[in-house]
Amino acid sequence: MPRLCVIGSRSLAERPPAREPAALSVMNGIDSRGQEHSYACGLLRADLGPTSIAISASIGRVMGWLRAKEYKSGGEVRLMSRIGVVWSAAILLVVLGLGGPGYATTPAEVGRYHQTSRIIHPTTAVVAAAGDGTRAWFFGASTQKEMWPLGNKPTIQHVVEELLAGGINRIVMVVNPHKVGIKEHFAPAGSRIEAYRSEAAEHAAAANEHSNAQRLTEAAEARKAAMKSQRLTDNLIHLRDLGHHIEYIDQTGDGYGNAVPAKDAWRADATENEPFVFVWPDDVVLPNHADHAFTKDLLAAYGDQGGVPLIGVQEVLPHEVNAYGIVAPKGDGFLLRDIVEKPAVGEAPSVYADFGRMVLTPDFMTVLMANGRGTGGEYYLVDGVKEFLSQGHQFGYLATAAPQVWITMGDARNSLLGNLKLMEMDPGAFDMTPQEAADALTKAQASLVAMSADSERP
């Protein structure tokens, strides 16, 4: 039998502040003197859905009505009547199969349930795609770094596909108004699609004609050409479909730093004052299909942990910690105590490096918007996290899990390493067979060994 917790009535003036869990657990009734009273019932588990919410709300309404009748009748409606109603509802819950271990039995637990049930799950992502690519300047001066190739796709396409596979349906890209490559990529001209489609049809017709005339070599070549044109058609249609989920806003130029795109999107109400996923587009997490999309895991963790803002992390080698922001966990849980930027080797609080996948909430954005400039006069997201934590708020983290791998593409070295890693994981991303990819990786490894040996010679 499930345990029961009924929290007694309270006047409005006695309620705790809105941020306290108990305030989220109440259901209200009005007595005969116009005084509002609040009730909560601990019959619900934190993982139950709309059915249990509706039953809980109904219990609250009946309790409020009985309480009002009690005032009107001078106490004729007794406490036992109210308890009878609640226990009847408890039996109904059990009959419906909603009972069992895990019932809330304290006001705090009831409040935790209602807080979880009211979480707004993000469906919008903001992508910070306005950078100049200064770490590879001669390439970035003319080509957006988000368009650098990772396999046979630009980096930004991998990111967009991961976001959509993870449950995002609206992507807001904060872009440099002087660079249009991303916009053009996700909005292929209809004339190009029709041209390739016509080519595919012509080659297919030629293949049939050659086949009927027993010109087998010509038929095979025509079929190959038809398949190529059809593949190009399908690719362009895929890009167009991706583009239907994307909106663009120009970065304002009001300061520099990786927090500026988030501030611009918030200022423009692009997220509609709701939680959102914030993304650095030179950070790719592979694989990016629905089964393993990191964004999907991030959103699930956000819901499971009660709507606490989160940042993605990945374990790095101990001698690499000085190249990243390293999180300092708070105990053994998922919460942060701090983020330390590029700590010295041997002094890092962990081996978990943060990267560009975050869920940011309205309360965090309020702090970030008010936060000043940091090192070099720039606005940094990590400074906002530190300030947020210093005010007593919670910020969590989620680590990648195999087979997920974070690849950073922000400079020439990491771009090369990222492509080699993808070739190892998915030869098809380079239109290669596994054997072709293995041969290429062997040659690359031999070249790197030779270069290392040359550099060590006196």
Give the pLDDT score at 180. 85
Q: What DSSP character marks residue 332?
A: T
Residue with the bigger pLDDT between 389 and 86: it is 389
> Smallest Cα–Cα separation from 100: which of 53, 62, 52, 54?
52
Q: Which two tokens stand for residue 130?
A: 């306005």
**11-15, 236-240, 273-277: segment of lowest average pLDDT:** 11-15
Residue 131 to residue 87: CA distance in whole angstroms: 60
Q: How does the average pLDDT of the chain come out, rounded?
A: 77
174 to 126, 143, 262, 363: CA distances (angstroms): 7, 16, 8, 21
Task: Render pLDDT for 88-108 as a digit per residue (tens, 0 to 9).
Answer: 555 555 445 444 333 333 333
pTM of the model: 0.71
Q: How confident is the model at residue 445 (pLDDT cuts 50, 70, 90)?
A: confident
Compute the radius of gyration of the chain from its Cα atoms: 29
Domain parsing of the chain, residue ranges: 6-117, 124-176+251-408, 190-241, 412-456
What class is the 124-176+251-408 domain?
alpha beta
Is the distance from CB of 379 to CB of 373 less than 8 angstroms?
A: yes
What is the secondary structure of 117-163 as a DSSP string? HT-----EEEEEE----GGGHHHHTTS-GGGSEETTEEHHHHHHHHH
**69-83, 178-192, 245-259: segment of lowest average pLDDT:** 69-83
Q: How confident is the model at residue 19 (pLDDT cuts 50, 70, 90)?
A: very low
